[in-house]
Amino acid sequence: MRIDLHTHSTVSDGTGAPAHVMREAAEAGLHIVALTDHDAIDGWNEAAATAADAGLGFVPGIEVSCRHHGISIHLLSYWHRADDADAVAMLARTREARVLRAREIVQKVGVDYPVTWEAVAELAGDAATVGRPHIADALVVQGVVPTRDEAFEHILAGNSRYYVPHYAPEVTDAVRTMRAAGGVTVFAHPGADARGRIVTTSVIEAMARAGLVGLEIDHRDHDDRQRERLARIASRLGLVRTGASDYHGTGKRNALGENLTDPKAFLELERARVSRDR
């Protein structure tokens, strides 16, 4: 049983439509796949229908942008209620802040490179969540960099002079909000220190007290040292160990199924969902 619980579509910063991602997942030999676009769930229905046609088990999910004392944190949530008022309000505010932030970044980058907001918006298309990846795509189109990854390494990194922060909910508040909405929450790539600062173990402990269910340990941004460290934390706190590709289509090097969630771990996530639904 091959299970990948972290993928993105054109609803946020992936390069394939939700249906396309599901078809690719089937071709990659996956059996269960989650769609987890940034701060948006607009792709759920399309993905679910295509997954059913392809014989895939589909998990509706989301990747929520959060913060703790200025450190960016991404929180995966599975199976939460789409119409929960508090979750809807929190996510809408975050998406709006992302757009304002993207506009400001484009203004800064545009001083030195040939990129405009109009070009970014055209590339984003109907995406519910607009962000730095779309700016990276515009830089690729202009020939400034060869790939989206190169743009993030040299221009759009968190420590670059073009970086602009944006509103995001405090992570423990986000955990509580998504849990109250019926979501099963997992901390995405918690040890990805190459991306920037990561939070201390004490923050993971606070997230666990707030209702966190799992840690995404098996991820390409974690080396063996980080995986071992996170596995010890998960064991001590009783958190479920998950793994996933963090697939973005042609936008990143990540390949579907390159990291997977063990079927026993997936059952633990399902049990957390059942427990929450009772």
In the predicted model, what is the mean pLDDT of residues 30-53? 98
Q: Which residues have C-beta within 8 Å of that of residue 261, sequence separation ≥ 6?
A: 3, 4, 5, 218, 242, 243, 244, 269
**What pTM, to 2 d.p., does this model score?**
0.92
Encode pLDDT of 120-145 as tens digits. 999 999 898 899 999 999 999 999 99
Report d(CA 157, CA 150) in Å as an integer. 10
How large a percentage of the chain has pLDDT more than 70?
A: 99
